[in-house]
Structure 1
Amino acid sequence: MGLAEQQEQLGVVVRRFAEIAPQGWARLVGSWEATPDESGDVTLNWITTAVVHGGDRWLYGQVGYDEPLYDAVARLNDLSAEEGPDRRWTTLELLVDPDGTIKVELGYDEPKRSQGILDEQSHGRFERYLDTWVAEHGAVPTTPAPQA
């Protein structure tokens, strides 16, 4: 149990996120805020997006709600709480690239989006993520679009 189980569950989250992503995705960007109730059940506020190879340009948009992904993230949050209530994360930031590279950031402060605070950190950066991607990778993909 413990960290090994959490790492295994993170793998479940990453795999499910990739399974529901649109074809040709170049990066998946996920942000989840977790708010537990008195009984310990968690409610998630999420933003799940993808940068997609659009042939002559990059595309960006929301990845639809998926109950198995939601449940996998909620399970990951529950596992973090098993080590004590102060170890339960309140925010999970996840970047996934097709080559298997992942970046995870956990936060323990009060979630913002869930409280109606839509500042740069909690919301604005996702609205402008395509601009960030284009600044780093150029406006036009340099490799051919993936085939179906």
Structure 2
Amino acid sequence: MGKAEQQEQVERIVHRFADVAPRNWVRLVGNWEAYTDQSGELTLNYLTLAVVDGGDRWLFGQVGYDEPLYDLVAQLQPMAAADDPDHAWTVLDLEVDQDGTFRVEFGYDPPKRARGVLDEESMGRFETYLDRWVGEHGPRPPARPSGGRP
């Protein structure tokens, strides 16, 4: 499986993530940890979050579970290992901005959250995400035209 097919799969993930995002979202944050369970089946432990323009303040919370999004991510994991079994990612970080830009990062260390390790990397950075967002973007979203969406 080539890099082009993997890139196309990432783009499908980005589009599906945006499709299930709440109204007025400005950034989507996804983190998936992949591991094989005792039966040999791939399982994903995931966090899917959104920063939303709440008008007078930023809002932040969990994006609801979406089976097609889960399946797209699950399909990406073995694609990376098709040419090199040692290159299967164990952690996928994805940020998607409303303008369509996105950042993806793959990790190869044993997943932490799935093993009960709740440190800064596996959990803390998501718990403080809104605080960091506000620090970078200010406490209020920019004014928008009446009825407009970001």
Q: TM-score range by the shorter chain?
A: over 0.9
Q: Percent identity?
A: 61
Q: Please tell me the root mean square deviation across aligned C-alpha atoms, in Å.
A: 1.4
- Aligned residue identity for 1:73: V
Q: CA deviation at 1:36?
A: 2.3
Pairwise mapping of residues 25-36 of structure 1 onto structure 2 (< 5 A)?
25-36=25-36
Query: Partner residue of 1:41?
Result: 41
Name the counterpart of 2:85. 85
Cα offset, 1:128, TM superposition: 1.0
Please give the TM-score of this superposition, normalised by the length of structure 2: 0.93
Pair 55,137 (structure 1): closer, same or farther in 2 beyond 3 Å: same
Letter in 2 for 1:142: P
Q: Give the alignment's TM-score, normalised by structure 1.
A: 0.94
For residue 124 of structure 1, report the CA deviation from its aligned partner: 0.9
The residue aligned with 2:4 is: 4
Q: Which residue of 2 aligns with 1:138?
A: 138
Cα shift at 1:39: 6.8
Question: What whole-Å deviation, never above 9, does each CA across 1:80-122 have from its counterpart, x for those lacking one?
Answer: 1102221100000000001111111100000000000000110
Which whole-Å CA distance do the structure 1 matches of 2:42 and 2:130 have between them? 30
How much has 1:38 moved relative to structure 2?
A: 6.8
Number of residues paired by the alignment? 147
Q: Which amino acid aligns with 1:136?
A: E
Displacement of 1:143: 3.2
Q: Which residue of 2 aligns with 1:118?
A: 118
Question: Aligned to 1:93, what secondary structure does the other structure show?
Answer: strand
Cα offset, 1:136, TM superposition: 0.6
Contact 1:95–1:103 (CA under 8 A) maintained in structure 2: yes
CA shift, 1:139, in A, is: 0.4
Of residues 138-147 and 47-56 in structure 1, the stretch that sits farther from structure 2 once superposed is 138-147
Matched, 1:106 2:106: yes
**Residue-by-residue CA offset, 1:2-53 (whole Å, 9 max, x unaligned):** 1011000001100000000001001000000000247753100000000000
For structure 2, list consecutive stretches of 5 or more residues without a partner in the other structure. Answer: none
Q: Residues 24 and 146 of structure 1 are in contact (CA less than 8 Å); yes or no, is this contact kept in structure 2?
A: no
Aligned equivalents of 1:143 and 1:77: distance in 2? 40
2:109 and 2:33 map into 1 onto residues whose CA distance is 10
